[in-house]
Amino acid sequence: MSCGLKCSKGLKICCGVTSIFLIVVLVILLVLFLTDFKRKDPTITLQSVKFGRFMFDVTPIIDLNASLAILVTVDNPNHGSFTYQNSTAYLHYRGRLLAEAPLHEDTIPALKSHNISTVLNVYVDVTEVPDLLGDYLSGIISFTSITNLVGKVKILKFIKIKATSYSTCEILVYTRNQTVNSICNIQLKL
């Protein structure tokens, strides 16, 4: 009987200490997040685009089968690194899926810029994108790329949080001077 009383008293103390500890940890995390670890959105810069294969085929349909080697630099201004799983980037033109690029699993380190290279595979029936020629002649072709990355954010070497990054980029190709400009919007959901 006396033991039972002691044990439950011990349990109460134990519970109390645990919850105080948890609250302290939560408060520390909250303070870290709100001050020094306040998230800033990373930036993506398109470094280079190089044509690999480029084939026009006229039978049985007029199609374009091309590959582009792409190098992008991701600048991560955050104190957390981001490790993501294998994924795919999609390129749309006027609402139509035009190309896909595999993204190999990788880690974007904290407070650094990191290069990611991939190969964009384009396969398109030219007759299904009648606006392409007109856009080409007008001087600007606008593409949208969508990439969702599932992974983990790591802060202070020991805190790991599951996170998904959603990025949408508007890619403008100026056909006259052959330059590419991109504007990206990246969101990280924890």
Ligand X SMILES: *[C@@H]1O[C@H](CO)[C@@H](O)[C@H](O)[C@H]1NC(C)=O
The distance of closest approach from Cβ of residue 133 to ligand X in the complex, given in angstroms and rounded to an integer, is 18
Contact residue for ligand X among 32, 39, 64, 73 (CB under 6 A): 73
Confirm or reject binding of residue 104 to ligand X (CB under 6 A): yes
Residue closer to ligand X (CB basis): 32 or 180: 180
Structure tokens at 9: 């008293």
Residue closer to ligand X (CB basis): 20 or 150: 150
If you search the block for the tokens 């190098």, which residue do you land on?
71
Confirm or reject binding of residue 174 to ligand X (CB under 6 A): yes
Rounded distance, CA 104 to CA 119, Å? 11
Rounded distance, CA 100 to CA 122, Å? 7
Question: How many alpha carbons lie under 13 Å from residue 70 in its C-beta half-sphere?
Answer: 24
Q: What are phi and psi of 157, to 5 degrees?
A: 65, -20
Taking CA 172 as the corner, what is the angle to CA 39 and CA 115, rounded to the nearest 5 degrees?
50
Contact residue for ligand X among 8, 18, 19, 86 (CB under 6 A): 86
The distance of closest approach from Cβ of residue 177 to ligand X in the complex, given in angstroms and rounded to an integer, is 4
Q: Please report, as residue ranges, which positions from 126 to 145 form the binding site for ligand X (by CB under 6 A).
A: 139
Residues near ligand X, by CB under 6 A: 47, 53, 65, 73, 86, 104-105, 113-115, 123, 139, 174, 176-177, 179
